[in-house]
Structure 1
Amino acid sequence: MAALAYRDTPDLFDEAPAAREMPLRSTAALSERRFTAWRGRSGRRYVASVFAVDDTHALGFTDAVLLAVSSDRRVIAARDSGPFGIEAALGRWQRSIMAAGACEIHVHLLAEDGMSRRAALLDLMPEANPEG
């Protein structure tokens, strides 16, 4: 499955702020961050597992929302892993997000179906640069 980009949809979130990370308070004291949460432009909260960008385990999940996160805690890319976790496509995506400056991959597994994953992607993916 190709990386998904949904900026051709109506501008539902034009006035809303960008998605932002809202770390889980219950894990704040832990030395290793294994979980975090993101607040989408809609205000909805998405819990995610945290992986280093080069950790191939992050790409092994099916039917998940994958977020490429930069060191300044921004989502720089997002995609649906797909129902089969197509290794070659996910490997290309991983290499491209590393080149773009991602330091982590956050994996949201709680979207129950394709429609839920699409809604999460719309809510969390970075704004398209209209000038670029």
Structure 2
Amino acid sequence: MAALAYRFTPDLFDEPAPAPETVAREMPLRSTAALSERRFTAWRGRSGRRYVASVFAADDTHPLSFTDAVLLAVSAERQIIAVRDSGPFGVEAALARWQRAVSEAGAKEIHVHLLAEDGASRRAALLDLMPQAETAG
């Protein structure tokens, strides 16, 4: 199996990527800052890569209809608490269970990243954005 390689290309009109981080951080889009309703945002993964996402309320079922998307469950404290790939078929029963579980865990919004080109890109985004498991001791 061939190794996959990803190359980071900074956005032309955005600030340069910071050094790699230990957690993903939200980096709201400056171009939407004046809007009263937040419909889009961006996240900076641990790698420094930027992921633009659409914003939905945690109880909105519309994000469950997207296929081949990266779904981020976001808390009121603006932290990612869970991530998943919606899959190529949008299996609604599984996505609805995930939505209920993340809502119970404190998610207030679901952010949908649609720009990953293929399964490998979605997996890379999931790994870059997913919260790290905390270790005891």
The TM-score, its normalising length taken from structure 1, stands at: 0.87
What RMSD over aligned residues (CA atoms) do the two structures have, in Å? 1.3
* Structure 1 residue 129, shift from structure 2 partner: 1.8
Q: CA deviation at 1:93?
A: 0.1
The one-letter code matched in structure 1 to 2:98 is W
TM-score of the aligned structures, taking structure 2 as reference length: 0.84
Q: Which runs of 5+ in 2 are unaligned?
A: 1-19
- In structure 1, the residue matched to 2:33 is 28
Q: Partner of 1:116: helix, strand, or coil?
A: helix
Count of aligned positions:
118
How many percent identity over aligned positions?
80
Q: What amino acid does structure 2 have at the position aligned with 1:116?
A: S
1:122 is matched with which residue?
127
* Equivalences for residues 90-105 of structure 1 within 5 A: 90-105=95-110
Are residue 68 (structure 1) and residue 40 (structure 2) matched? Answer: no
Q: Distance in 1 between matches of 2:39 and 2:87?
A: 23
| 1:113 to 2:118 alignment | yes
Write out the 4+ residue segments of structure 1 that deviate beyond 4 Å after TM superposition.
none
Higher Rg: 2
Report Cα offsets for 1:43-88 as digits up to 9, x if no partner: 0000000000000001110000000000000000000000000011
Alignment correspondent of 1:7: none
Alignment partner of 1:58 out of 58, 63, 72: 63
